[in-house]
Chain A
Amino acid sequence: MSLFNIFNVAGSAMSAQGQRLNTVASNIANADSATSSTGQTYRAKQVVFSAVPTANPAAAGVKVQQVVEDQSPLKTHYDPKHPQADEKGYVTMPNVNVVEEMVNMISASRSYQTNVETMNAAKTMLLKTLTLGQ
């Protein structure tokens, strides 16, 4: 019954989007962290999705293939009083673009919602099928 497979497909998409949302949360939370646990300045992280073929050629799930770090230059601003400032008085800050992250967040949560609706529709269809002949 291929309707059951919709749960796998939509579920994999939901967990992938959840991970994307997690990354966004991490980026926004660290937007102002001048340092991090590794000693390096925090770099924005992005997830890379890839399709996962299933037994049925009609269906493909989603998984997070890797998490990449944004290699764009880090932001620097002049603040000689900051404890992390270098000898010239500049502080290196993460390259997180909060506007981009907000857009990413809305996109991820909408995709998550859509997949929940997909699952609900499949559930309704299966329940209707179970009442056949009654």
Chain B
Amino acid sequence: MIGKLDEALRFHQTALSLRAERQQALASNIANADTPNYKARDMDFNSALSRALSKGGPAAKPAASSPSLVNGAGFQAVANALTRTSAAHLGGTPSGVTASGAQLLYRQTAVQGNIDGNTVDMDVERNQFADNALRYEAGVTFVNGQIKGLLTAIQGQ
């Protein structure tokens, strides 16, 4: 029964944590808008979500002792995993992979580049930030609706 409840909420739970992570990446881009040589990063939400869902979501992370998979990167191709010569070595996270396994990508360079090598386009970042926040809140609303539906089913009223 608990498994069924888990299953019902998994999709939105995964989507919300990925949205939160993307929001963080966008906040970093905005924070580093004046940092020389900083390259703006973002994730492809669709592929990150489908990858996370196909592997069972963030709740089903691989065991930390598994030597072939790097901690938290179970959704990433093994080619990205670090090679460890001893099981006692710390795994670490390969660069460019977030905690839930979403691949961070560099943004395409803007039409007009900055002279200091920074690729943050404030308009793009702010748009994406607002869009992502709204979608997060939409996700929260969906989960609320689901919980209400489940409660109605449980109480049978």
Contact = CB atoms under 8 A, between A and B. Distances in A.
Q: Do A and B come from one complex?
A: yes
B24 A3 contact: yes
A60 interface: yes
A60 B118 CA distance: 14
Contact of A1 (B20, B27, B41, B126): B20
Interface residues of A, number: 38
Given A115-B30, A129-B140, A2 B129 contact: no
Q: Describe B's contact surface by its main secondary structure.
A: helix
A79 B102 CA distance: 65
B123 to A, nearest CB: 11
A132 to B, nearest CB: 6
Nearest to B19: A125
A128 B25 CA distance: 20
Interface string B19-43: 0111111011011111110100101
A95 interface: no
Given A1-B20, A2-B21, A132-B140, A61 B98 contact: no
Interface string A26-57: 00000000000000000000001111000011
B64 interface: no
Contacts of B75: none
B20 A111 contact: no
Nearest to A49: B35
Interface residues of B, number: 39
Nearest to B16: A129
Contacts of B34: 17, 20, 49, 62, 107-108, 111
Interface of A: 1-3, 5-6, 9-10, 12-13, 17, 20, 48-51, 56-62, 107-108, 111, 114-115, 118, 121-122, 124-125, 128-129, 131-134
3 closest residue pairs by CB, A with B: A13-B31, A58-B25, A49-B35
Interface of B: 16-17, 20-25, 27-28, 30-36, 38, 41, 43, 93, 95-99, 102, 104, 122, 126, 129-130, 133, 136-137, 140, 143-144, 147
Given A17-B34, A57-B95, A61-B31, 12 more contacts: A6-B23, A9-B31, A13-B31, A49-B32, A49-B36, A57-B104, A58-B99, A59-B27, A62-B34, A121-B133, A122-B23, A128-B136
9 contacts: A20-B34, A57-B93, A58-B24, A114-B33, A114-B122, A124-B137, A125-B133, A125-B136, A128-B136
